Structure 1
Protein backbone atom coordinates (compact mmCIF):
# COMPACT_ATOMS: atom_id res chain seq x y z
CA UNK A 1 0.00 0.00 0.00
CA UNK A 2 1.41 3.36 -1.03
CA UNK A 3 1.75 5.97 1.74
CA UNK A 4 1.67 9.72 1.06
CA UNK A 5 3.09 12.36 3.37
CA UNK A 6 0.62 14.73 4.88
CA UNK A 7 3.17 17.63 4.88
CA UNK A 8 2.53 20.14 2.13
CA UNK A 9 5.11 20.33 -0.63
CA UNK A 10 7.05 23.62 -0.88
CA UNK A 11 7.31 25.22 -4.25
CA UNK A 12 10.76 26.27 -5.60
CA UNK A 13 9.77 29.91 -5.07
CA UNK A 14 9.01 29.29 -1.40
CA UNK A 15 12.34 27.52 -0.85
CA UNK A 16 14.16 30.42 -2.55
CA UNK A 17 12.50 32.95 -0.25
CA UNK A 18 13.46 30.85 2.77
CA UNK A 19 17.13 31.03 1.80
CA UNK A 20 17.07 34.69 0.76
CA UNK A 21 15.68 36.05 4.04
CA UNK A 22 18.70 35.04 6.20
CA UNK A 23 21.06 36.41 3.54
CA UNK A 24 19.24 39.75 3.46
CA UNK A 25 19.20 39.98 7.25
CA UNK A 26 22.92 39.14 7.39
CA UNK A 27 23.66 41.79 4.77
CA UNK A 28 21.75 44.42 6.73
CA UNK A 29 23.61 43.50 9.92
CA UNK A 30 26.96 43.71 8.11
CA UNK A 31 26.08 47.10 6.60
CA UNK A 32 25.12 48.43 10.03
CA UNK A 33 28.42 47.19 11.48
CA UNK A 34 30.43 48.85 8.68
CA UNK A 35 28.49 52.10 9.13
CA UNK A 36 29.17 52.06 12.88
CA UNK A 37 32.92 51.48 12.40
CA UNK A 38 33.08 54.21 9.73
CA UNK A 39 31.32 56.64 12.06
CA UNK A 40 33.70 55.90 14.93
CA UNK A 41 36.84 56.13 12.77
CA UNK A 42 35.80 59.06 10.58
CA UNK A 43 38.41 61.87 10.94
CA UNK A 44 37.27 64.85 13.01
CA UNK A 45 39.79 67.39 11.73
CA UNK A 46 37.48 68.78 9.09
CA UNK A 47 34.87 71.30 10.08
CA UNK A 48 34.70 71.61 13.84
CA UNK A 49 31.53 70.12 15.20
CA UNK A 50 29.64 71.32 18.21
CA UNK A 51 31.40 68.74 20.40
CA UNK A 52 34.91 69.24 18.99
CA UNK A 53 37.45 70.16 21.70
CA UNK A 54 38.76 73.72 21.85
CA UNK A 55 42.25 72.38 22.62
CA UNK A 56 44.12 69.20 21.79
CA UNK A 57 46.84 67.59 23.94
CA UNK A 58 49.77 67.14 21.55
CA UNK A 59 53.14 65.61 22.45
CA UNK A 60 56.17 66.81 20.46
CA UNK A 61 59.55 65.37 21.35
CA UNK A 62 58.00 63.90 24.48
CA UNK A 63 56.85 67.35 25.66
CA UNK A 64 53.13 67.99 26.11
CA UNK A 65 51.46 71.07 24.61
CA UNK A 66 47.81 72.15 24.84
CA UNK A 67 47.10 73.38 21.33
CA UNK A 68 43.99 75.34 20.24
CA UNK A 69 42.35 73.30 17.50
CA UNK A 70 41.68 76.25 15.21
CA UNK A 71 45.30 77.44 15.47
CA UNK A 72 46.59 74.32 13.69
CA UNK A 73 47.38 75.27 10.10
CA UNK A 74 47.43 71.79 8.53
CA UNK A 75 44.35 69.56 8.71
CA UNK A 76 46.44 66.40 8.88
CA UNK A 77 47.95 67.66 12.16
CA UNK A 78 44.59 68.22 13.87
CA UNK A 79 44.68 65.24 16.19
CA UNK A 80 45.87 64.56 19.71
CA UNK A 81 48.82 62.38 20.66
CA UNK A 82 52.50 62.29 19.61
CA UNK A 83 53.57 64.29 16.56
CA UNK A 84 56.97 65.03 15.06
CA UNK A 85 56.01 68.61 14.17
CA UNK A 86 53.00 70.89 14.36
CA UNK A 87 52.42 74.26 12.63
CA UNK A 88 50.30 76.98 14.23
CA UNK A 89 49.40 80.64 13.87
CA UNK A 90 47.97 83.18 16.31
CA UNK A 91 46.56 86.66 15.85
CA UNK A 92 48.72 89.49 17.17
CA UNK A 93 48.51 91.13 19.65
CA UNK A 94 45.50 89.19 21.04
CA UNK A 95 47.28 85.79 20.66
CA UNK A 96 43.90 84.24 19.87
CA UNK A 97 43.69 81.45 17.26
CA UNK A 98 42.47 82.77 13.90
CA UNK A 99 38.92 82.21 12.71
CA UNK A 100 37.82 80.53 9.50
CA UNK A 101 39.74 82.05 6.55
CA UNK A 102 37.67 84.09 4.14
CA UNK A 103 37.16 82.77 0.63
CA UNK A 104 39.18 84.79 -1.89
CA UNK A 105 37.79 85.33 -5.40
CA UNK A 106 39.22 87.02 -8.48
CA UNK A 107 37.26 90.15 -7.57
CA UNK A 108 38.55 90.31 -3.99
CA UNK A 109 42.14 89.07 -4.37
CA UNK A 110 43.60 92.58 -4.45
CA UNK A 111 41.84 93.69 -1.29
CA UNK A 112 42.65 90.35 0.40
CA UNK A 113 46.41 91.07 0.40
CA UNK A 114 46.88 92.78 3.74
CA UNK A 115 49.60 93.32 6.30
CA UNK A 116 50.49 90.23 8.32
CA UNK A 117 48.58 90.29 11.59
CA UNK A 118 49.70 87.04 13.16
CA UNK A 119 52.58 85.10 14.66
CA UNK A 120 53.47 81.83 12.93
CA UNK A 121 54.80 79.07 15.15
CA UNK A 122 56.33 75.69 14.37
CA UNK A 123 56.96 73.17 17.15
CA UNK A 124 59.30 70.33 16.22
CA UNK A 125 61.20 67.59 18.04
CA UNK A 126 64.88 68.59 18.26
CA UNK A 127 66.42 65.11 18.73
CA UNK A 128 69.33 66.62 20.73
CA UNK A 129 70.40 68.96 17.93
CA UNK A 130 72.28 72.16 18.75
CA UNK A 131 70.04 74.36 20.89
CA UNK A 132 69.00 77.87 19.78
CA UNK A 133 71.02 79.35 22.66
CA UNK A 134 74.15 77.44 21.62
CA UNK A 135 73.67 78.47 17.99
CA UNK A 136 73.44 82.12 19.01
CA UNK A 137 76.52 81.89 21.21
CA UNK A 138 78.81 79.78 18.99
CA UNK A 139 77.62 79.75 15.37
CA UNK A 140 76.23 83.21 14.58
CA UNK A 141 79.28 85.18 15.85
CA UNK A 142 81.42 83.57 13.12
CA UNK A 143 79.31 85.25 10.44
CA UNK A 144 78.57 88.65 11.99
CA UNK A 145 80.05 91.89 10.81
CA UNK A 146 82.58 93.04 13.41
CA UNK A 147 81.30 96.61 13.42
CA UNK A 148 80.06 97.63 16.85
CA UNK A 149 76.33 98.22 17.05
CA UNK A 150 74.78 100.59 19.57
CA UNK A 151 71.60 99.37 21.26
CA UNK A 152 68.42 101.31 20.51
CA UNK A 153 65.84 101.18 23.28
CA UNK A 154 67.69 98.16 24.67
CA UNK A 155 67.65 96.23 21.36
CA UNK A 156 70.93 95.61 19.51
CA UNK A 157 71.10 94.98 15.77
CA UNK A 158 74.15 93.44 14.08
CA UNK A 159 74.52 92.67 10.39
CA UNK A 160 75.66 89.35 8.97
CA UNK A 161 78.48 89.59 6.42
CA UNK A 162 77.31 89.38 2.80
CA UNK A 163 79.61 86.41 2.04
CA UNK A 164 77.95 84.17 4.66
CA UNK A 165 74.88 81.89 4.58
CA UNK A 166 73.00 84.65 6.43
CA UNK A 167 74.16 87.44 4.12
CA UNK A 168 70.74 89.04 3.67
CA UNK A 169 69.86 88.98 7.38
CA UNK A 170 70.47 90.86 10.60
CA UNK A 171 70.62 89.59 14.17
CA UNK A 172 68.62 91.38 16.87
CA UNK A 173 69.18 90.71 20.57
CA UNK A 174 68.07 92.09 23.91
CA UNK A 175 68.66 91.06 27.51
CA UNK A 176 65.57 92.26 29.34
CA UNK A 177 63.11 91.08 28.30
CA UNK A 178 65.14 88.38 26.57
CA UNK A 179 64.79 88.30 22.79
CA UNK A 180 66.93 86.96 19.97
CA UNK A 181 65.69 87.17 16.39
CA UNK A 182 67.27 86.61 13.00
CA UNK A 183 65.54 88.84 10.45
CA UNK A 184 65.60 89.20 6.68
CA UNK A 185 65.83 92.73 5.31
CA UNK A 186 62.98 94.55 3.65
CA UNK A 187 63.08 94.10 -0.12
CA UNK A 188 60.36 93.23 -2.64
CA UNK A 189 58.62 91.62 0.29
CA UNK A 190 58.65 92.84 3.90
CA UNK A 191 61.37 91.42 6.12
CA UNK A 192 60.48 88.57 8.45
CA UNK A 193 62.02 87.55 11.76
CA UNK A 194 62.71 84.11 13.19
CA UNK A 195 63.04 83.60 16.94
CA UNK A 196 63.71 80.19 18.49
CA UNK A 197 63.58 78.71 21.95
CA UNK A 198 63.79 75.20 23.39
CA UNK A 199 61.10 73.70 25.64
CA UNK A 200 61.80 70.17 26.82
CA UNK A 201 62.22 67.89 23.82
CA UNK A 202 60.88 70.44 21.32
CA UNK A 203 62.15 73.58 19.61
CA UNK A 204 59.67 76.44 19.12
CA UNK A 205 60.27 78.62 16.05
CA UNK A 206 58.32 81.90 15.94
CA UNK A 207 58.02 83.96 12.75
CA UNK A 208 56.73 87.54 12.62
CA UNK A 209 57.24 90.75 10.57
CA UNK A 210 60.47 92.65 11.13
CA UNK A 211 58.52 95.90 11.36
CA UNK A 212 57.09 94.75 14.71
CA UNK A 213 60.51 95.22 16.31
CA UNK A 214 59.77 98.93 16.61
CA UNK A 215 57.72 97.70 19.61
CA UNK A 216 60.06 94.87 20.51
CA UNK A 217 59.10 94.79 24.20
CA UNK A 218 55.55 93.86 23.21
CA UNK A 219 56.80 91.17 20.82
CA UNK A 220 59.07 89.60 23.44
CA UNK A 221 56.22 89.59 25.95
CA UNK A 222 53.88 88.00 23.39
CA UNK A 223 56.33 85.16 22.69
CA UNK A 224 56.68 84.49 26.42
CA UNK A 225 52.92 84.50 26.97
CA UNK A 226 52.27 82.27 23.97
CA UNK A 227 54.84 79.75 25.19
CA UNK A 228 53.22 79.71 28.65
CA UNK A 229 49.71 79.30 27.20
CA UNK A 230 50.73 76.29 25.11
CA UNK A 231 52.47 74.59 28.01
CA UNK A 232 49.54 75.11 30.38
CA UNK A 233 49.69 75.28 34.18
CA UNK A 234 52.57 73.43 35.78
CA UNK A 235 51.62 70.85 38.37
Structure 2
Protein backbone atom coordinates (compact mmCIF):
# COMPACT_ATOMS: atom_id res chain seq x y z
CA UNK A 1 0.00 0.00 0.00
CA UNK A 2 2.77 2.36 0.90
CA UNK A 3 4.46 1.61 -2.43
CA UNK A 4 1.24 2.30 -4.34
CA UNK A 5 0.76 5.66 -2.58
CA UNK A 6 4.33 6.76 -3.42
CA UNK A 7 3.86 5.70 -7.03
CA UNK A 8 0.58 7.57 -7.28
CA UNK A 9 2.14 10.62 -5.65
CA UNK A 10 4.96 10.65 -8.22
CA UNK A 11 2.46 10.27 -11.06
CA UNK A 12 0.37 13.13 -9.71
CA UNK A 13 3.45 15.37 -9.45
CA UNK A 14 4.54 14.48 -12.96
CA UNK A 15 1.02 15.16 -14.23
CA UNK A 16 1.03 18.65 -12.64
CA UNK A 17 4.48 19.33 -14.06
CA UNK A 18 3.36 18.27 -17.51
CA UNK A 19 0.31 20.53 -17.34
CA UNK A 20 2.33 23.53 -16.13
CA UNK A 21 5.20 23.11 -18.60
CA UNK A 22 3.45 24.82 -21.55
CA UNK A 23 2.88 27.93 -19.40
CA UNK A 24 6.57 28.40 -18.68
CA UNK A 25 7.47 30.47 -21.84
CA UNK A 26 10.62 32.70 -22.19
CA UNK A 27 10.11 36.25 -20.94
CA UNK A 28 11.28 37.69 -24.34
CA UNK A 29 10.26 35.58 -27.30
CA UNK A 30 12.02 35.78 -30.65
CA UNK A 31 8.90 37.24 -32.30
CA UNK A 32 8.68 40.00 -29.70
CA UNK A 33 12.36 40.87 -30.20
CA UNK A 34 11.94 41.06 -33.97
CA UNK A 35 8.89 43.31 -33.68
CA UNK A 36 10.69 45.58 -31.23
CA UNK A 37 13.72 45.87 -33.51
CA UNK A 38 11.45 46.70 -36.45
CA UNK A 39 9.72 49.47 -34.48
CA UNK A 40 13.09 50.92 -33.42
CA UNK A 41 14.31 50.87 -37.02
CA UNK A 42 11.17 52.65 -38.25
CA UNK A 43 11.51 55.29 -35.52
CA UNK A 44 15.15 55.84 -36.45
CA UNK A 45 14.24 56.35 -40.11
CA UNK A 46 11.44 58.75 -39.16
CA UNK A 47 13.80 60.71 -36.90
CA UNK A 48 16.33 61.13 -39.72
CA UNK A 49 13.58 62.10 -42.19
CA UNK A 50 12.13 64.67 -39.79
CA UNK A 51 15.59 66.10 -39.14
CA UNK A 52 16.41 66.45 -42.84
CA UNK A 53 12.90 67.61 -43.75
CA UNK A 54 12.87 70.08 -40.87
CA UNK A 55 16.11 71.66 -42.00
CA UNK A 56 14.86 71.86 -45.61
CA UNK A 57 11.48 73.27 -44.59
CA UNK A 58 13.03 75.71 -42.13
CA UNK A 59 15.48 76.98 -44.74
CA UNK A 60 12.72 77.52 -47.30
CA UNK A 61 10.52 79.26 -44.74
CA UNK A 62 13.39 81.59 -43.84
CA UNK A 63 14.04 82.34 -47.53
CA UNK A 64 10.38 83.36 -47.91
CA UNK A 65 10.44 83.13 -51.70
CA UNK A 66 14.01 84.37 -52.05
CA UNK A 67 16.91 82.23 -53.21
CA UNK A 68 20.65 82.54 -52.80
CA UNK A 69 21.35 80.52 -55.95
CA UNK A 70 23.51 82.37 -58.47
CA UNK A 71 22.73 80.00 -61.34
CA UNK A 72 21.95 81.97 -64.49
CA UNK A 73 18.46 81.96 -65.98
CA UNK A 74 18.27 82.63 -69.72
CA UNK A 75 15.18 84.53 -70.85
CA UNK A 76 13.94 85.67 -74.24
CA UNK A 77 11.99 88.93 -73.94
CA UNK A 78 10.80 90.29 -77.26
CA UNK A 79 13.79 90.59 -79.59
CA UNK A 80 16.32 90.39 -76.76
CA UNK A 81 17.81 87.49 -74.82
CA UNK A 82 19.17 88.09 -71.33
CA UNK A 83 20.72 86.03 -68.54
CA UNK A 84 20.21 86.94 -64.89
CA UNK A 85 21.29 85.15 -61.70
CA UNK A 86 18.43 83.43 -59.89
CA UNK A 87 18.97 85.41 -56.69
CA UNK A 88 18.37 88.67 -58.57
CA UNK A 89 14.99 87.52 -59.94
CA UNK A 90 12.32 88.67 -57.54
CA UNK A 91 9.53 86.13 -58.06
CA UNK A 92 9.93 82.31 -57.99
CA UNK A 93 7.47 81.93 -60.89
CA UNK A 94 9.91 83.80 -63.15
CA UNK A 95 12.96 81.67 -62.31
CA UNK A 96 12.77 79.39 -65.33
CA UNK A 97 14.33 79.60 -68.75
CA UNK A 98 12.41 80.33 -71.93
CA UNK A 99 10.21 83.05 -73.33
CA UNK A 100 8.93 85.67 -70.90
CA UNK A 101 6.78 88.77 -71.19
CA UNK A 102 8.66 90.37 -68.32
CA UNK A 103 11.06 89.72 -65.50
CA UNK A 104 11.25 91.52 -62.16
CA UNK A 105 14.58 91.99 -60.42
CA UNK A 106 15.69 93.35 -57.06
CA UNK A 107 19.22 94.44 -56.32
CA UNK A 108 21.08 96.01 -53.43
CA UNK A 109 22.39 99.51 -53.83
CA UNK A 110 25.20 100.30 -54.43
CA UNK A 111 26.52 96.72 -54.73
CA UNK A 112 23.99 95.72 -57.43
CA UNK A 113 23.75 92.20 -56.02
CA UNK A 114 20.88 89.78 -55.54
CA UNK A 115 19.77 87.99 -52.39
CA UNK A 116 22.45 86.29 -50.30
CA UNK A 117 23.24 85.14 -46.79
CA UNK A 118 25.36 88.21 -46.08
CA UNK A 119 22.70 90.73 -47.15
CA UNK A 120 19.43 88.86 -46.47
CA UNK A 121 18.19 91.42 -43.93
CA UNK A 122 18.07 94.10 -46.62
CA UNK A 123 15.58 91.90 -48.49
CA UNK A 124 13.70 90.43 -45.52
CA UNK A 125 13.25 93.58 -43.42
CA UNK A 126 10.79 96.02 -44.97
CA UNK A 127 12.37 98.79 -42.92
CA UNK A 128 15.53 98.33 -45.01
CA UNK A 129 13.78 98.26 -48.41
CA UNK A 130 15.23 101.67 -49.26
CA UNK A 131 18.53 99.86 -49.75
CA UNK A 132 17.08 98.01 -52.76
CA UNK A 133 16.45 98.92 -56.39
CA UNK A 134 13.54 97.22 -58.17
CA UNK A 135 13.60 96.60 -61.91
CA UNK A 136 10.84 95.51 -64.29
CA UNK A 137 12.10 94.48 -67.72
CA UNK A 138 9.69 94.09 -70.63
CA UNK A 139 9.60 94.48 -74.37
CA UNK A 140 9.18 98.15 -75.27
CA UNK A 141 5.64 99.23 -76.04
CA UNK A 142 6.53 102.90 -76.59
CA UNK A 143 8.97 104.38 -79.04
CA UNK A 144 10.46 106.70 -76.40
CA UNK A 145 11.73 106.16 -72.89
CA UNK A 146 11.11 108.63 -70.06
CA UNK A 147 13.84 111.02 -71.19
CA UNK A 148 12.46 110.94 -74.72
CA UNK A 149 8.95 111.76 -73.47
CA UNK A 150 10.01 114.98 -71.73
CA UNK A 151 9.42 117.36 -74.64
CA UNK A 152 6.50 115.73 -76.49
CA UNK A 153 4.49 114.73 -73.40
CA UNK A 154 5.64 115.89 -69.96
CA UNK A 155 6.42 119.47 -70.97
CA UNK A 156 2.70 119.97 -71.71
CA UNK A 157 1.66 118.70 -68.28
CA UNK A 158 3.76 121.03 -66.14
CA UNK A 159 2.54 124.00 -64.15
CA UNK A 160 4.29 126.71 -62.19
CA UNK A 161 7.94 127.68 -62.36
CA UNK A 162 10.73 125.13 -62.19
CA UNK A 163 12.49 124.92 -58.82
CA UNK A 164 16.13 124.07 -58.11
CA UNK A 165 16.28 120.80 -56.21
CA UNK A 166 19.70 119.36 -55.36
CA UNK A 167 22.69 117.70 -56.96
CA UNK A 168 21.96 119.21 -60.37
CA UNK A 169 18.26 118.26 -60.40
CA UNK A 170 15.39 120.62 -61.18
CA UNK A 171 11.89 120.05 -59.80
CA UNK A 172 8.80 120.49 -61.98
CA UNK A 173 5.25 120.23 -60.68
CA UNK A 174 2.65 118.35 -62.71
CA UNK A 175 -0.87 119.63 -63.24
CA UNK A 176 -3.50 118.20 -60.91
CA UNK A 177 -5.50 116.90 -63.89
CA UNK A 178 -2.47 115.17 -65.44
CA UNK A 179 -3.26 111.90 -63.67
CA UNK A 180 0.00 111.58 -61.73
CA UNK A 181 -1.38 112.32 -58.27
CA UNK A 182 1.28 113.64 -55.90
CA UNK A 183 4.18 112.89 -58.24
CA UNK A 184 6.65 115.54 -59.33
CA UNK A 185 9.06 115.52 -62.23
CA UNK A 186 12.79 115.90 -61.68
CA UNK A 187 15.15 116.60 -64.55
CA UNK A 188 18.85 117.18 -65.06
CA UNK A 189 21.00 117.87 -68.13
CA UNK A 190 23.20 115.00 -69.28
CA UNK A 191 26.32 115.73 -71.28
CA UNK A 192 26.05 114.30 -74.78
CA UNK A 193 22.55 112.92 -74.29
CA UNK A 194 18.91 113.71 -73.53
CA UNK A 195 17.98 115.13 -70.15
CA UNK A 196 17.64 112.79 -67.21
CA UNK A 197 13.97 112.51 -66.17
CA UNK A 198 12.49 110.77 -63.14
CA UNK A 199 9.07 110.88 -61.45
CA UNK A 200 8.94 110.86 -57.65
CA UNK A 201 6.55 111.14 -54.74
CA UNK A 202 8.70 113.18 -52.42
CA UNK A 203 8.27 112.51 -48.68
CA UNK A 204 7.36 115.22 -46.21
CA UNK A 205 10.64 114.51 -44.40
CA UNK A 206 13.79 112.68 -45.54
CA UNK A 207 13.36 109.91 -42.95
CA UNK A 208 9.92 109.10 -44.41
CA UNK A 209 11.23 108.15 -47.85
CA UNK A 210 9.73 104.91 -49.16
CA UNK A 211 11.57 102.06 -50.84
CA UNK A 212 10.33 102.83 -54.35
CA UNK A 213 8.96 106.35 -54.42
CA UNK A 214 10.96 107.31 -57.54
CA UNK A 215 10.65 105.62 -60.91
CA UNK A 216 12.24 105.97 -64.31
CA UNK A 217 12.35 103.86 -67.47
CA UNK A 218 15.15 103.52 -70.00
CA UNK A 219 15.75 101.56 -73.20
CA UNK A 220 18.44 98.89 -73.29
CA UNK A 221 19.39 96.38 -75.96
CA UNK A 222 17.37 96.05 -79.13
CA UNK A 223 13.92 96.49 -77.68
CA UNK A 224 13.94 96.29 -73.89
CA UNK A 225 12.21 98.72 -71.58
CA UNK A 226 13.76 98.78 -68.12
CA UNK A 227 11.53 100.45 -65.55
CA UNK A 228 13.31 100.88 -62.26
CA UNK A 229 12.20 102.15 -58.87
CA UNK A 230 14.36 103.39 -56.03
CA UNK A 231 14.08 105.39 -52.84
CA UNK A 232 14.06 109.17 -53.05
CA UNK A 233 16.70 109.05 -50.31
CA UNK A 234 19.14 108.07 -53.10
CA UNK A 235 18.34 110.96 -55.44
CA UNK A 236 21.80 112.39 -54.85
CA UNK A 237 23.11 109.28 -56.63
CA UNK A 238 20.75 109.58 -59.60
CA UNK A 239 23.54 109.62 -62.16
CA UNK A 240 25.37 106.64 -60.68
CA UNK A 241 22.16 104.61 -60.31
CA UNK A 242 21.19 105.20 -63.93
CA UNK A 243 24.64 104.20 -65.18
CA UNK A 244 24.77 101.13 -62.90
CA UNK A 245 21.43 99.84 -64.18
CA UNK A 246 22.41 100.32 -67.81
CA UNK A 247 25.64 98.45 -67.14
CA UNK A 248 23.97 95.65 -65.15
CA UNK A 249 21.33 94.89 -67.78
CA UNK A 250 23.59 95.56 -70.75
CA UNK A 251 26.29 93.20 -69.48
CA UNK A 252 23.73 90.39 -69.29
CA UNK A 253 22.42 90.73 -72.81
CA UNK A 254 23.20 87.76 -75.00
CA UNK A 255 22.73 90.08 -77.96
CA UNK A 256 24.27 93.56 -77.97
CA UNK A 257 23.15 96.75 -79.68
CA UNK A 258 24.10 100.38 -80.06
CA UNK A 259 22.02 101.31 -76.98
CA UNK A 260 24.11 99.03 -74.79
CA UNK A 261 27.34 100.51 -73.38
TM-score (norm 2): 0.59
Confirm or deny: 8 A CA contact 2:162 2:173 kept in the other structure: no
- Are the structure 2 counterparts of residues 53 and 186 from structure 1 closer, same or farther at C-alpha, using a change threshold of 3 Å? closer
Q: Does 1:131 align with 2:152?
A: no
Deviation of 1:66 (Å): 1.5
Q: Does 1:97 align with 2:118?
A: no
Which ranges in structure 2 are unaligned for 5 or more consecutive residues? 1-64
One of 122, 133, 137 as aligned partner of 1:119: 133
Mapping for residues 1-235 of structure 1, pairs under 5 Å? 54-99=71-116, 101=120, 113-127=127-141, 129-132=142-145, 133-150=147-164, 152-176=166-190, 179-187=196-204, 190-191=209-210, 192-199=213-220, 200-231=222-253, 234=256
Q: Quick one: distance in 2 between partners of 1:211 and 1:160?
A: 21
**Residues 30-81 of structure 1, C-alpha deviation per residue, up to 9 Å, x if partnerless?**
xxxxxxxxxxxxxxxx8979xx762122111121112111111111111112
CA RMSD of aligned residues (A): 3.1
**Residues 109-131 of structure 1, C-alpha deviation per residue, up to 9 Å, x if partnerless?**
9x76335211100001224x342
Runs of 4 or more off by more than 4 Å in structure 1?
A: 46-49, 232-235
Count of residues in Structure 1 that have an aligned counterpart in Structure 2: 181
Confirm or deny: 8 A CA contact 2:81 2:254 kept in the other structure: no
Larger Rg: 2
- Are the structure 2 counterparts of residues 123 and 113 from structure 1 closer, same or farther at C-alpha, using a change threshold of 3 Å? same
Confirm or deny: 8 A CA contact 1:85 1:122 kept in the other structure: yes
- Are the structure 2 counterparts of residues 233 and 95 from structure 1 closer, same or farther at C-alpha, using a change threshold of 3 Å? farther
